[in-house]
Structure 1
């Protein structure tokens, strides 16, 4: 009888968690998914060879698992500084928010090759402002970089 109650309780908790994850996936990526896809601090690899940096980072972060993602930006800055864009240090722009200061980043653009292991990228180091979508007080979607 005790095992049955524990199993039902566990199933109920799993159902709630699954429901939460489904709702969250419909609203866009989470804060942690944003950080995984777009923040690399400290830099995992030197950017003296930005094309190699992009290929390694895209593969490491699983962004070439099914298809070679066309464009991705890695912000080489502390996550807390990026979060501040959504906490009063940004300028609202429609449903998005623009940063008031610039970040070091590498912009990776797909140049050819098949997924998952042979995607090739051209990497461009930059120091630019960003535009993000904020959910609550956290960035959850990277929109673009701005001059």
Structure 2
């Protein structure tokens, strides 16, 4: 009887570990979500260049039917390692880390008052520094951008 309980407990533990492993395999880390929502390197060229934001936000599952349109989103056209490197920079007073150099990016801003798909965006090409918050040495949130000092 005792052996049966031990075997049952062992089986339950194995199943719990298996389920936890599978959940982690299909789950998206905060860093993975950051990459999906904000890094487009090399820059994707769409057939209709003026539709870049709509195309990328839909392709990257940032906007989707049934969800409100995201008011703004920025795509950085630099390698992910350049944004990871920002995490080694000294944080500012608000705790954000900035890239040491300006990088190419596309800033998408929702046009009009439509907050439900289909979403229409205005795109601006910029060369800005990028501010991120980091966890474990990896960027997990794009906190904003700013123009280089002239």
TM-score, normalising length: structure 2: 0.77
Aligned to 1:80: 81
Asked if residue 134 in structure 1 is aligned to residue 144 in structure 2, the reply is: no
Contact between 1:132 and 1:143, CA under 8 Å: does it hold in 2?
yes
List aligned pairs for 1:42-61, cutoff 5 A. 42-46=42-46, 49=49, 51-61=50-60
Unmatched segments (≥5 aa) in structure 1: none
Matches within 5 A, 1:1-147: 5-6=10-11, 8-15=13-20, 30-46=30-46, 49=49, 51-65=50-64, 66-87=67-88, 90-93=89-92, 94-112=94-112, 113=114, 115-116=116-117, 118-147=118-147
Q: Please tell me the root mean square deviation across aligned C-alpha atoms, in Å.
A: 3.1
CA distance 1:41–1:8, change in 2 (3 Å): same
Is the Cα contact below 8 Å between 1:68 and 1:114 reproduced in 2? yes
Count how many residue pairs are aligned between Structure 1 and Structure 2: 137
Rg larger in structure: 2
**TM-score (structure 1 length as normaliser):** 0.78
Point out where structure 2 has 5 or more consecutive residues left out of the alignment: none
